[in-house]
């Protein structure tokens, strides 16, 4: 079983985590055509390479981000979401 390092709880077995998929661009719902909105909802890119993903540490309900190489399944780093989204 893979080990994932949670920024808050440290290295843990990956069965303590839940994947919430890659971080996606958030189109402005008011300025997006119907077809583009559908694509946003239902089409996943799944390109080879490094993606930034949402992960949840289930026991602590903590959401964080991970950079993962989809080819080698290597997790390059994990970090708190505040690094990407500042407080408004």
Partner 1 sequence: MNRLAEPWGNRIDRTRSVRFTFEGRNFEGFAGDSIASALAASGQWVLSRSFKYHRPRGILSMTGADANTLVQLPFEPNVAADRTPISEGLSVSAQNVNGTLERDRDAIMDRLGRFLPVGFYYRTFMGPRRDSWLKFWEPMIRRKAGLGVVDTTAPRRHFDKTHLHCDILVVGAGPAGLNAAIAAAEAGADVVLCDENPEIGGSLTYGRHDPALLADLSSKLEALPNLRLLTGTVCNGWYEDNWLPLIQGNRLFRTRARAVILATGSIEQPAIFRNNDLPGIMLGGAAQRLIRHYAVRPGQMAVVLATGDEGYGVALDLVEAGVSVALVADPRSGGEPGLFEAELHGKGVAIRKAATIEAAEGTAGNRHLARVRVGGRWIACDLLAVSAGEVPAWQLPCQAGAKVGYDAAVGTMTLSLPPSPVHLAGSVAADGHLQDAMADGRRAAAAALSRLGHAVAEDRILPRPAVAGPIHVLPIVPHQKGRDFVDFDEDLQVKDLQNAVKEGYREIELVKRFTTVGMGPSQGRHSALATSRIVAEATNRTVAEVGVTTARPPVGPETLGVLAGHHEPLERRTALHARHLALNAMMKPVGAWWRPYFYGDAGAAEKMIRDEITTVRQGVGLLDVSTLGKLELRGPDAGEFLDRLYTMAHANQPVGRVRYCLMLNEMGSVVDDGVAYRMADDRFYVTATTGAVARVYADMLFWNAQWRLRVDVLNLSGAFSGLNVTGPKARAVLEALDSDIDFGREAFPYLSGREGVAAGVPVRVMRIGFTGELSYELHCPSSLAPALWDAVTIAGEPHGLKPYGLEASRILRLEKGHILIGQDTDAITTPDELGFGWAVSKKKPFFVGKRSIEMRARLGQSRQLVGLRFPADARDLPGESCLVLRGNHPVGQVTSIGFSPTLGCTIGLAYVHKDDAVEGRLVTVKCRNGNLVEVPVVGHAFFDPANARQEM
Binding site for partner 1 (CB under 8 A): 1-3, 13, 18, 20, 26, 29-30, 32, 34, 37-38, 41, 54, 56, 61-64, 73, 81-82, 85-88
- Distance of closest approach, residue 26 Cβ to partner 1, in angstroms: 8
When the beta carbons of 63 and 70 are compared against partner 1, the nearer one is 63
When the beta carbons of 26 and 45 are compared against partner 1, the nearer one is 26
Q: Are the C-beta atoms of residues 66 and 81 closer than 8 Å to each other?
A: no
């Amino acid at each position: 079983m893979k080990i994932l390092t949670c920024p808050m709880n440290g290295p843990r077995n990956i069965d303590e985590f839940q994947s919430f998929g890659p971080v996606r661009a958030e189109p402005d719902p008011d300025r997006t055509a119907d077809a583009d909105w559908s694509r946003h909802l239902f089409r996943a890119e799944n390109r080879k390479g490094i993606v930034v993903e949402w992960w949840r540490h289930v026991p602590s309900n903590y959401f964080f981000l991970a950079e993962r190489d989809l080819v080698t399944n290597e997790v390059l780093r994990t970090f708190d979401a505040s690094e990407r989204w500042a407080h408004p």
